[in-house]
Amino acid sequence: MSDYTLCNVQAGAPLQEKIFLKKDPASRYETLQAMKAGKFKTAENFLRARRSNLDPSKSLTENRRYETESGNFTSAHFSITQFEGVRSAKQIFDLVIFYFNNMEISVSEKLDSLVTVRENDDDSTIEGITQNCLVSRTTKTGKKMESKTIMFSSYCERDDMPAADRGYGIVASEFIDNDECYPYHPNERVRKDVSGVIEVRAFNRQDRHSASADDDIVVVMTRWVQNTLHRPAFPMEAEGWRELRHSMDTWGLSLHRTLLESLHPQS
């Protein structure tokens, strides 16, 4: 059993807090603001347990996909990714936020299997809170998949910390159970629930290719995400269900590719 697998067993899954949003803008804002601090605490504790005894300077990727007893299909992804030659953790964090704020554009441009559109017009990040209401249509069978997710994001900086650990960013994502402004369409679309945590932090690492004893600074992104595709309430042929299952993780998996393209644009 790997260190990560053992940690999975010990840590379990993040505590999911049900999100119900009304139409009134003030009520929506108050509901989400009241949740934010708790989501960050839960996310940080969860990642701390997930990556215990793991070296942040070593790359790691683990995936798990399975069908539940209810017929839903779930995938879980955990990764530790290093970015070298970047200015700071804040640079990577800002790129992550930009990606999620414009995810429908990136997904549609990079993937020929999905066409994704945004349904909500209040997609800007306000005080670290972003809402994504996205609908994707598969290009082969034309099946529709919808996801409604809240992202809580924060970047913390402390001048009293060492330069490499002076700032870190955290993003906690959670699906919406019910939204009066943007309701689910269970008779037309397959629902996908997303729960996730991303942390971006800088670490010191000995430069093995340098004669200097100075440490090299590397920015590390730790990411855990769980996607659940609900078995549709309407009839669906096996091919359409397989295509949705194949496509359900692509929104998040294109993140790393987008980050690299932003950091190293072609001349």
Give residue 6's pLDDT band: very low, low, confident or very high (50, 70, 90): very low
Query: Is the pLDDT higher at 123 or at 254?
Result: 254
The angle formed by the CA atoms of residues 20, 25 and 31, to the nearest 5 degrees, is: 40
Read off the pLDDT of residues 201-217 as tens digits, 9 standing for 90 and up: 998 776 655 555 446 78
Taking only the tens place, the pLDDT of each residue in 30-78 is 999 999 999 999 999 999 998 888 998 899 999 999 999 999 999 999 9
Give yes or no for residue 167 having a pLDDT over 70. yes
Q: What percentage of the chain carries pLDDT values higher than 70? A: 85
Quote the pLDDT of residue 124: 63
Spatial distance between the Cα atoms of 194 and 108, rounded to a whole number of angstroms: 19
The widest CA-to-CA distance across the chain, in whole angstroms, is 65
**Is it the case that residue 161 has pLDDT exceeding 90?**
no
Q: What is the DSSP string of 144-195?
A: EEEEEEEEEEEEEE-TTS-GGGSEEEEEEEEE-SEESSS---TTTSEEEEEE
- Closest to 55 in 3D by CA, of 206, 263, 197: 206
User: How buried is 152 (Cβ within 10 angstroms: 0-12 exposed, 13-18 middle, 19+ buried)?
Assistant: buried
What pLDDT score was predicted for residue 165? 59
| Superfamily of domain covering 14-263 | START domain (3.30.530.20)
Give the 3-state secondary structure of residue 213. Answer: coil
pLDDT single digits (tens) 121-160:
765 678 899 999 999 999 899 999 999 999 999 999 866 6
For the chain, give the mean pLDDT: 86
Q: What are phi and psi of 222, to 5 degrees?
A: -105, 130
